[in-house]
Amino acid sequence: MLAVEYFEVECPEPVGAEYYKQITNDVLLDHNLLKVIEKLHIYIDPKVPVFIAVGILKPITNVVRVGDIANVNPLEGKMTLVITEETYLASMLKIFWERFGKDRVEQPDRFTVVLYNVPVAAKEIEEIVIGHPSESLNRDLIYAFRCVAPEGFRLRSERFEKGKFSFVASENTLVENIDELVKAKFALMGETP
Amino acid sequence: MTLVPVTYKGGIYQHDIVTDLIEDLGGYVVQKHVLAQEVVLQCFVPRDDIELIREISRPLFGEVTDSPLVGTEIAVVSMSLEIHHLPHPSCDIAEYVRRIGAKSNMVSLARGPGKRIAGLNDEERDVINEHDTAVYLMGNFETCIEHKMPILLRGIEVPVVVCGGPDKETLIRIVDPPVEGYVGGVGRFMRRTKEADQLDKLDEIIAEITRVLEKKREDIAKDPLSVSPARLMNLIRERVPAILEVTSPTPLTVQLAGLRVKLPYDTFAPELRAMEIEDGITLGDVAAIEPSRMRDYILVKVLPFSETNTVI
């Protein structure tokens, strides 16, 4: 957890806390989410039972453009795009089809896309926005914390806003003063919800 | 003659010499795997003849190793089939047990997770009871294990090995009613077991299962079975040709005191009951043929000498 500024797991059972620290680390690493979390505090009390994860996200403002994932090579009447990263390939093709029509877009192989007779310059193609990584971030985080939380804790309450998040899960109905508990956990990190 | 479980590993070339030798010595091949140029035989052989097999298989570069779990069927009880428990640790443990020769089945509970909400239904209970032993894979919190174990052990008659996050002493203290084996430090984790310390933990689980099964073997030896399950397996393979058509990896699964036959009960149970073993003694005389709760398989439970007064 080198990339995270603050990371603590609080639990009345020290052995359990140690295991959950490892599980959280593994899950966030697997989902590639360590780089977006700045602070994270997890509180688990199996006696209640309740699982609380509160944290602060690093600001993500950048968008992904065609130029970021492909090299654009213009040649008489056609433009060849050599793809270096496939993650946003599907959304890029969708945008090309809508803008230029399917008959002008061809994908001869996995890493090549060819545009025929498109009325725009190569520079303009490179600037087309094809992905917003922050859009799917909340969904990914919720999924990751569902994996971290004990499986029986199926009643959940999540809040993601302004770069701060809280994820509360329990086996029983969530108690009404859960907001106060969340606030107390944020205070431990020196933050307010 | 004492038969001991061993694994033979060697090249596929002339491996039938070894197979014939084992059969001539009075042993049984329980499972045979052919993997490319290699063949792995899991078998029971007479204790005194292991050296002879080693000697004869030496020119074929064969290797004979002890495999205490050959001829056993083990239930690996996972609390659910969610990403929380699969593939690590449930599959890791099930696969490791399989390498030592056991046939492991993963039994996943419909309402296993949680503390208050955890439960065990009658089908799950019966399926677990059809195995030689059950390995319960629990979570990391002693509060939860303490709370749910009495419920999950209700009606379980086979020996149980409990694996959980807390250390072994804590598990012994909190698991009620007491079970036969405990392995601490193996709770829920979400990474592959590949480091040396993690593999040591898997070895510890194997050691605990082996200890539990050895005890069960000793108990069976006090009142021996009327017929050896491995012998029954060979007989069924000869006399019931339909078993050769079954595509399951182990159409006949040998257990410590029985056999799982993967054929439909209604069609084949009368045929099995009437199957003659030796001198007019039929399988129905020395074993109880029952329907299994696992699909529509047949469960052959071999009766002990004290009930049948025959040993063949």
Whose tokens are 């799982």? That residue is B260
Specify whether B212 is located in the same domain as B283.
no
Strands A105-109 and B3-11, how do they pair?
unpaired
Query: Is B89 at the interface with chain A, CB within 8 A?
Result: no
CB B254 within 8 A of CB B268: no
pLDDT of residue B2: 81
Specify whether B37 is located in the same domain as B104.
no
Specify whether B95 is located in the same domain as B183.
yes
Residue of A nearest to B116 (CA): A171
φ, ψ of residue B183 to 5 degrees: the values are -130, 115
For residue A181, give both structure tokens: 């508990």
Residue B76: enclosing H or E segment and its boundaries?
A: strand B73-78
pLDDT one-digit tens code per residue, A33-51: 988 899 999 999 999 899 9
pLDDT one-digit tens code per residue, B176-216: 899 999 999 999 999 999 999 999 999 999 999 999 999 99
pLDDT of residue A32: 86
Specify whether B192 is located in the same domain as B123.
yes
Specify whether B180 is located in the same domain as B237.
no
What CATH number corresponds to the domain at position B10?
A: 3.30.70.260
Query: Is A19 at the interface with chain B, CB within 8 A?
Result: yes
φ, ψ of residue A156 to 5 degrees: the values are -125, 155
Query: Is A155 at the interface with chain B, CB within 8 A?
Result: no
pLDDT one-digit tens code per residue, B23-48: 999 999 999 989 889 999 999 999 99
pLDDT of residue A183: 93
pLDDT of residue A54: 95
Rg from Cα positions in chain B: 20
* Boundary-marking domain end, from B175, B199, B220: B220
Specify whether B125 is located in the same domain as B245.
no
For residues B17-25, average pLDDT = 94
pLDDT one-digit tens code per residue, A47-79: 989 999 999 998 876 788 999 999 999 988 899
* Boundary-marking domain end, from B220, B244, B271: B220
> Given pLDDT bands bounded at 50, 70 and 90, which one contains residue B252?
very high
Specify whether B183 is located in the same domain as B290.
no
pLDDT of residue A182: 93
User: Is pLDDT above 70 for A2?
Assistant: no
Specify whether B77 is located in the same domain as B216.
yes
**Secondary structure string (H, E, C) spanning B33-61:** EEECCEEEEEEEEEHHHHHHHHHHHHHHC
Report the domain count for chain B: 3
* Residue A161 or residue B56, greater confidence: B56
Percent of chain B surpassing pLDDT 90: 89
Rg from Cα positions in chain A: 22
Specify whether B105 is located in the same domain as B186.
yes
Q: Provide the domain limits for residue B55.
A: 3-66
pLDDT one-digit tens code per residue, B107-139: 999 999 999 999 999 999 999 999 999 999 999
CB B186 within 8 A of CB B201: yes
Question: B-chain residues within 8 Å CB-CB of A46?
Answer: 115, 141, 143-144
Q: What is the ipTM of this complex?
A: 0.88
Q: What rounded mean pLDDT belongs to chain B?
A: 94
Q: How far is CA B10 from the centre of its chain?
A: 23
* Boundary-marking domain end, from B180, B203, B220: B220
Does the beta-carbon distance from A13 to B141 stay under 8 Å? yes
Query: Is A152 at the interface with chain B, CB within 8 A?
Result: yes
Specify whether B241 is located in the same domain as B205.
no
Contacts of B35 (CB under 8 A, 6+ apart): none
pLDDT of residue A1: 60
Return d(Cα B227, Cα A45) in angstroms, integer. Answer: 53
Distance from CA of B133 to the nearest CA of A (A): 25
For residues A123-145, average pLDDT = 89
Query: Is A142 at the interface with chain B, CB within 8 A?
Result: no
Q: How far is CA B23 from CA B20, B231, B308, in A?
A: 5, 11, 27
Specify whether B77 is located in the same domain as B213.
yes
Does the beta-carbon distance from A20 to B140 stay under 8 Å? yes
Specify whether B36 is located in the same domain as B154.
no
